[in-house]
Structure 1
Amino acid sequence: MLKTALGRYINNFKGFTREVWILALITFINRAGTMVLPFLSKYLKEDLNFTYGEVGWIMVAFGLGSMLGSWIGGKLSDKIGFYKIMIFSLFTSGILFILLQYITTFWGLCFGMFVIMAISDMFRPAMFVSLSAYAKPENRVRALSLIRLAVNLGFTAGPALGGLIIIGMGYQGLFWVDGSTCIIAILIFAFYIKEKKKTPVATDHPITKTISKSIFKDKPFWLLLFISFVTFMVFLQIFSTLPLYHNEKFGLSEFQTGMLLSINGLLVFLLEMPIVSALERRKTNKIKSIAIGSLFITLGYYILLLDSWVGILTISIILLTFGEIFSFPFVNAVALNRAPKGQEGKYMGFYTMSFSLAHIVSSKTGLEIIAHYNYQVNWFIMGTLGAISLLCCFWLNKMIHKE
């Protein structure tokens, strides 16, 4: 029985090219080293003694830099190719992450985070576009899931190790590890993968047909961006306000917060690829999958309103994880597949900008709500925004059918 289940699980990973596996490997190395992000708000608040408002503004600078980097990365991927962008982005941002630990002033950190994220997030649209070159057309959704799996597997190890590094070496150790892993990951990429041109998406699915008109007239794409923005904004509370809530409400340590966040990565590792493969085999409507994800995320925040038992933190993480599993791979796939040939970088640039904008709005909004009201009001608002995203999924589905 166990052998059969294991065999079925392994079958979900068959059919990928060598390059896709190497992309997944460097993504894992990079994300396992990205230990700063889950603890960034705690580092700024507790180690550098910034106020909630100042922490919020530094996270705004983080998000603005990310937006600029996403736009530049998407633009340049179409002009000079994703390969050069990926190498420049990871190598340079690795060096800058190491240097960031020496900046401790408010304005210095605002500027430093803006510059680092502008360079670092050039990588993301280029990475998505690279799958147009290295993944087979019939495997693109699963390839996106494999990359996300590598991200989440990295996050499984990263936060727990990050908590231990803080205890043993302090926050400065995180910056050294983060920067070093960026550099190691891109050196592996440059050594094992040669530059290759994109191949066109071959599909007759109504969601993924080639669009001849301007991106600015692609109304379903912009509604998809709104859905992805709202979903990301709500979900990203897991990295900004939730770690603070763990400590201030229930007295959890950095290591305990890291272990809780590791549940997210572990569940994604075990369940996302089988779930995505099953949905693909059944030809499940991608928009409906995104809607199911929005429902789980909504419930993940509403349940935090029951704050008398520490166990709700685990239940919330599990619900948010299922929301991520059902939503994120298909949002990625729909965005990539709507792009006409030669405009993949532009489309994925705008898509990753929605993620970056979510970073800006999520942390600042969440921290301001907590400062002026309390955590409970924040959870209610985030849950309600998740419900709005769910309703927009039904609207998007109708627009797609009209096409």
Structure 2
Amino acid sequence: MLKTGLQRYIDNYKGFSREIWILAIITFINRAGTMVLPFLTKYLKEDLGFSYNEVGWIMVCFGLGSMLGSWLGGKLSDKIGFYKVMVFSLFSSGILFFILQFITSFWGLCFSVFAIMTIADMFRPAMFVSLGVYAKPENRTRALTLVRLAVNLGFAAGPALGGLIIMGIGYKGLFWTDSLTCIIAILIFALLVKEKKKTPTIVHDSNSVQVLSVFKDKIFWLFLFVCFLTAVLFFQIFTTLPLYHHEMYGLTEFQSGLLLTLNGLLIFFLEMPIVSAFERNKISKTKIMLWGSLLMAMSFYLLMIIGWAGIFIFSIIFITFGEMFIFPFSNSFALSRAPKGHEGRYMALFTMSFSLAHIASSKTGMEVIDRYGYQTNWILMGTLGIIAVISCFRLLYLLKIENKV
């Protein structure tokens, strides 16, 4: 029984091309070194001494740069190809992350964070397009899941190690690590993966629909709204939650990092079997996203229980399962719905929804906490999760009319 279960687990990882595995490896290297993001708000607030309002505005610049980078990355992927965009983005952002440690003024950080994220997030839509090229149509969702696993395994190692680096040599060590891993990852990619052009023979799954323009695809825009709401909730674990851990319960950076490590490990061990099981049973992507939205909402309502730090474990488990239900299938839905030749534009808007969510999540969360306290913020986030659930019901209805479910 145990041997059969282990073999079935291993089978989930079969059938990928060499390029997909290399993409997963460089993603792991890059994300394991991305230690700045989980501690950025703490760095700005506690090390540089900025106010909640100033931290919120710097994170707005983070999100605006991410939005611009996502759009540029998508457009350029359609124009000049995803390969060139990926190489330029990671190599340049590696150099810029090194420079960022020397900038400490408010306006300097606003401009620098905006510039860095514009270049860094050109990578994301280009990487999604590359998966559409290097992955077989029948295992595209699993390929997306494999890369997400690499992201989360990197995050599982990164935050805990990052917490130790902060306690040992300070925040500057994070910038050095982030810079080096960006450059190492893209050098491996450039050396081992040859550029492959998109071909018109890419087959899309049953969610694909031909439209004249992405801006006229109403179903896709409702889908983006769901992605935006759930991403607002998800980004709280990088912005308000680390502050809440420290200010209300006295947790160290290392302890906060361990909670993020739990998130990464759960995803590493469980996401691929969950995705494979859902695909074998042909469950609608939208229904899975609906369940995930509900789990995310519940994770924030749980935080209203005060006086016991153990609730953080249950909350992170709920949000992790919500993440596993939403993100792999939203990635696949977005890519499969894009008409031929428009993959970059669709994935640009998809990644922009996450960038906009980063702006809304950080700024709104900081403002609500500053004015009304943490409990009000958890109520707000839980309610946004419920709105996402309702939107998923509407999306299911529209897809049924379109005869795509």
TM-score, normalised to structure 1's length? Answer: 0.98
Q: For residue 274 of structure 2, what is the aligned residue in structure 1?
A: 275
Aligned pairs for 1:112-261 within 5 A: 112-199=112-199, 200-203=201-204, 205=206, 207=207, 209-261=208-260
**SS of match in other structure, 2:14:** coil
The whole-number CA distance in structure 2 between the counterparts of 1:212 and 1:386 is 29
Please list the CA deviations of residues 218-251 of structure 1 after superposition, one character each: whole Å capped at 9, or x if unmatched.
0000001100001101111000000000001111
**SS of match in other structure, 1:14:** coil
Please list the CA deviations of residues 16-35 of structure 1 after superposition, one character each: whole Å capped at 9, or x if unmatched.
00000000000000000000
**SS of match in other structure, 2:303:** helix
The whole-number CA distance in structure 2 between the counterparts of 1:387 and 1:270 is 28
**SS of match in other structure, 1:115:** helix
Matched, 1:86 2:91: no
**SS of match in other structure, 2:73:** helix
RMSD: 0.8
1:60 and 1:359 in contact (8 A); partners too: yes
> Where does structure 2 lack aligned partners over 5 or more consecutive residues?
none
Please list the CA deviations of residues 36-73 of structure 1 after superposition, one character each: whole Å capped at 9, or x if unmatched.
00100000000000000000000000000000000000
Aligned pairs for 1:254-403 within 5 A: 254-403=253-402
**SS of match in other structure, 2:316:** helix
**SS of match in other structure, 1:305:** coil
1:35 and 1:174 in contact (8 A); partners too: yes
* Cα displacement (A) at 1:309: 1.1
* Cα displacement (A) at 1:198: 2.1
1:201 and 1:337 in contact (8 A); partners too: no
Q: For residue 48 of structure 2, what is the aligned residue in structure 1?
A: 48
Q: What amino acid maps onto 2:107 in structure 1?
A: W
Q: What amino acid maps onto 1:202 in structure 2?
A: V
1:133 and 1:196 in contact (8 A); partners too: yes
Q: For residue 66 of structure 2, what is the aligned residue in structure 1?
A: 66
Please list the CA deviations of residues 234-276 of structure 1 after superposition, one character each: whole Å capped at 9, or x if unmatched.
1110000000000011110000000011000000000000000
Stretches of 4+ moved more than 6 A in 1? none
* Cα displacement (A) at 1:333: 0.6
Q: What amino acid maps onto 2:227 in structure 1?
A: S
Please list the CA deviations of residues 91-148 of structure 1 after superposition, one character each: whole Å capped at 9, or x if unmatched.
0000000110000000000000000000000000000000111000001000000010
2:137 and 2:205 in contact (8 A); partners too: no
The whole-number CA distance in structure 1 between the counterparts of 2:172 and 2:204 is 48
* Cα displacement (A) at 1:204: 5.0
* Cα displacement (A) at 1:211: 1.2
1:296 and 1:323 in contact (8 A); partners too: yes
**SS of match in other structure, 1:142:** helix
- Relative to structure 1, the CA distance from residue 204 to residue 260 in structure 2 (aligned partners, 3 Å threshold; closer, same or farther) is closer
Please list the CA deviations of residues 295-315 of structure 1 after superposition, one character each: whole Å capped at 9, or x if unmatched.
110000000001121110000
Q: What amino acid maps onto 2:93 in structure 1?
A: S
The whole-number CA distance in structure 2 between the counterparts of 1:332 and 1:204 is 13
TM-score, normalised to structure 2's length? Answer: 0.98
2:142 and 2:275 in contact (8 A); partners too: yes
**SS of match in other structure, 1:221:** helix
* Cα displacement (A) at 1:2: 2.9
The whole-number CA distance in structure 1 between the counterparts of 2:202 and 2:324 is 23
1:223 and 1:396 in contact (8 A); partners too: yes
**SS of match in other structure, 1:16:** coil
The whole-number CA distance in structure 2 between the counterparts of 1:150 and 1:356 is 21
* Cα displacement (A) at 1:89: 0.1
Q: For residue 109 of structure 1, what is the aligned residue in structure 2?
A: 109
* Cα displacement (A) at 1:168: 1.0
* Cα displacement (A) at 1:201: 3.7
The whole-number CA distance in structure 2 between the counterparts of 1:51 and 1:120 is 26
The whole-number CA distance in structure 1 between the counterparts of 2:179 and 2:358 is 21
2:211 and 2:217 in contact (8 A); partners too: no
1:233 and 1:361 in contact (8 A); partners too: yes
Greater shift, 87-96 or 193-202, is seen at 193-202
Identity %: 68
**SS of match in other structure, 2:13:** coil
The whole-number CA distance in structure 2 between the counterparts of 1:259 and 1:288 is 31
> Where does structure 1 lack aligned partners over 5 or more consecutive residues?
none
2:70 and 2:351 in contact (8 A); partners too: yes
